[in-house]
Amino acid sequence: MAGDILKVKELVEGYLGRGNDPKDILDNGLIAGMDIIGGRFKRNEVFIPEVMIAAKAMHSGLDLVKPHLAESGVKPFGKIVVGTVKGDLHDIGKNIVSMMFRGAGFDVVDCGIDVPSGKFIDLVKQENADILAMSSLLTTSMPFMGEVINLLTKENLIDSVRVMVGGAPVTKEFAQNIGAHGYAEDASSAVDRARELLRISAKR
Ligand code: B12
């Protein structure tokens, strides 16, 4: 939570060395800390830099735990394809959302910015994604979110993937109108919504 990368590494190495369960280190150490930061961010008690620093520290621990998780057969909670829609180059919010998803234990495939609608569909198929999360910061790029949902419907994929949308100009009403399954106004609510959509409790 303090963003101390070296301390996180030292602690995680220590716990792993003493034979602690890697899932316990992940759930009750790394993710638990990130959840607290997420709550503070939501209440405006900390801001983007603190979240990014905390996420960086969390990743330094995650990198050490990951190989052990794979060995013990622990699977990520779900796969999320994330991207900023066509015509839109804004990625600060999307990157924060991606970081929070990763911090919460999801497997994230970030397909970047200015993503053509068809590419989202290809990636959802290719990655067998549980959630597609699209970001838009421009009123002119928002309609592409609807276009992607129409394409998913056409390809009969709309029932097998949950679609989440967000970004400053996006509203709950807009999300409902285009047929998205979820909307969140910030990165930490995005994690709550993703968990709801996949019915994973925050405590697990
Ligand atoms: C930084 C910025 C830029 C940077 C982007 C750098 C980058 N790498 O992202 C640059 C300079 C490149 C840029 C360019 C442009 N920009 Co600009 N930009 C901004 C600015 C100042 C901040 C956006 C930002 O990063 N906010 C901080 C992040 C953390 O917030 P956020 O993105 O909203 O994300 C949070 C939530 O929305 C949510 N969220 C975000 N995505 C998702 C996704 C999901 C699934 C979920 C659940 C939640 C979620 O969680 C995030 C974290 O809490 C805004 C103004 C503003 N105050 O919003 C204008 C703004 C978005 N830009 C604007 C414009 C017009 C442009 C340009 C057209 C300017 C120009 N004439 O060239 C170009 C367009 C380029 C393009 N094709 O995209 C307008 C858009 C107006 C409109 N009606 O559409 C704005 C609102 C400024 C303004 N008031 O006019 N911009």
What residues have CB less than 8 Å from 28, skipping those under 6 apart?
Answer: none
Confidence of residue 203 (pLDDT cuts 50, 70, 90): very low
Tell me whether residue 21 is exposed, middle or buried, using C-beta atoms within 10 angstroms of its C-beta: 0 to 12, 13 to 18, 19 or more: middle
67 CA → ligand 1 middle, Å: 36
Between 173 and 75, the more confident residue is: 173
Strand 79-84, strand 182-183: pairing: unpaired
The answer, yes or no, to whether any atom of ligand 1 lies below 6 A from the CB of 190, is yes
Question: What is the whole-number distance in angstroms between the Cα of residue 138 and the centre of ligand 1?
Answer: 7
Q: Is the CB of 83 under 6 A from ligand 1?
A: no
Average pLDDT over residues 44-64: 90
Task: Return the pLDDT at 132.
Answer: 98
Cβ of 187 less than 6 Å from ligand 1? yes
Q: 200 pLDDT band (50/70/90 cuts)?
A: low
3-state secondary structure of 136: coil
pLDDT band at 201 (very low <50, low <70, confident <90, very high): very low
- Residue spans of alpha helices (H) in the chain: 5-17, 22-25, 32-42, 48-71, 92-103, 117-127, 143-154, 172-178, 187-197
Q: Residue 32 and residue 22: Cα distance in Å, rounded?
A: 14
Q: Provide the whole-model pTM.
A: 0.87
169 Cα to the center of ligand 1, angstroms: 9
Q: Residue with the nearest Cα to atom 80 of ligand 1?
A: 138
pLDDT of residue 202: 43
**Burial of 105 (C-beta count, 10 Å sphere; 0-12/13-18/19+):** buried
At CB < 8 A and 24+ separation, what contacts does 2-10 make?
A: 2/54, 2/57, 3/50, 3/53, 3/54, 3/56, 3/57, 4/57, 5/56, 5/57, 5/60, 7/57, 8/57, 8/58, 8/60, 8/61, 9/60, 9/61, 9/64
